[in-house]
Amino acid sequence: MITESMTREQTVRRLQTLAREIHEDVEDTLENLLTNSRAPNTVAVYSRKSEEFRNWQRNYPAAATLHQLDSAAIFIAKKSITSSAKTLATFVAALAFSRMGKKPQEAEKWTILDEMVRSKRRMEPIKEQNFATSEEWLVLLDATVTVNWPPWRIDRALILLTLLYCGLLRISEAVNMGVEDVTEEEQAWKCQIRRAKNDQYGSGTAVYLAKEPWFDDVLRRHKNLRRSGQLLSTGTGRRWSEGAAASEIRRLCEAANIRIKSLTHHRINVYEALR
């Protein structure tokens, strides 16, 4: 197979050889660091996608004469007939992981793959969005007192729910917001989003939440506890992940007897998917 960059496995082996040559016993450490740079589940998914690609290549010996990324473009075209854009995007991510990232000299070939995924996404029908009512939002707020959580965790849940429903933020945007990104103004709270998905210039955007006495008290109290770092962090001050935040909402939905249709880490599903 013609490739213009070493695979992750080849890179690990090369570095291990160099380590042995200089008599440094770090072979296992090198492998662990370079093969565990993603979550175990993510690595497992990438492995399955890569194996599927290799199996397809074995059925077409001529594919071995192509640059791997050209072969990948043909594979994506075939997969696009029956697979979603999300599946194709996962394959591209798996390929980039295997090849130790997207090399500058391969930029055009990677652009082709990315364009194919984007085109497939545009071709897919837009799913109907089901928005939660204000009554459901209020029920979720009330549900925070029915779970056996410490006060700081209840405050965190109240803030998250309000950011998602009233501020229309995504879960990923909410959990990445820093304490300094939320500032109190005369009649509203300004929430600065550093990177929004629909922000094509990458300059960030801001949403404003009208002041309400109960929310003002919760947010001030929570900000005073945090002082710096992430606004919605763990009890030890570490970053709160999108998955953990989604699980928190799921628990509240169960406590409030609200049926969950779907829940992903990036969509603002308090108002979109809880119908």
Q: What is the distance of C-alpha 110 from the center of its chain?
A: 21
CA-closest candidate to residue 211, choices 191, 240, 234, 231: 191
Name the one residue in this structure whose structure tokens are 């109240």.
Answer: 158
pLDDT of residue 152: 93
Q: From CA 50, how far away is CA 93, in angstroms rounded?
A: 10
Below-70 pLDDT ranges, the chain: 1-5, 127-132, 195-204, 227, 260-275
pLDDT of residue 273: 37
pLDDT of residue 48: 93
For the chain, the domains span 8-123, 134-272
Strand partners for 193: 205
pLDDT of residue 213: 94
CA-closest candidate to residue 19, choices 30, 8, 10: 30
Q: At what angle do helices 151-165 and 213-226 cross, to 10 degrees?
A: 120
CATH of 134-272, one of 1.10.443.10, 1.10.10.1800, 3.40.50.880, 3.40.50.12780: 1.10.443.10
Strand partners for 209: 189
Task: Count CB atoms within 10 A of the CB of residue 14.
Answer: 12
Q: At what angle do helices 40-58 and 68-79 cross, to 10 degrees?
A: 90
Order of strands across the sheet that contains 205-210: 182-184, 188-193, 205-210
Name the phi and psi angles at 175, rounded to 5. -75, -20
Whether this prediction's pTM lies above 0.85 is answered by: no
Paired tokens of 62: 């001529």
- Looking at the chain, how many residues does it have? 275
H-helix or E-strand spanning residue 8: helix 8-21
pLDDT of residue 265: 38
What are the pLDDT digits (tens) for 162-203?
A: 999 998 888 888 998 999 999 999 999 999 987 655 444 556
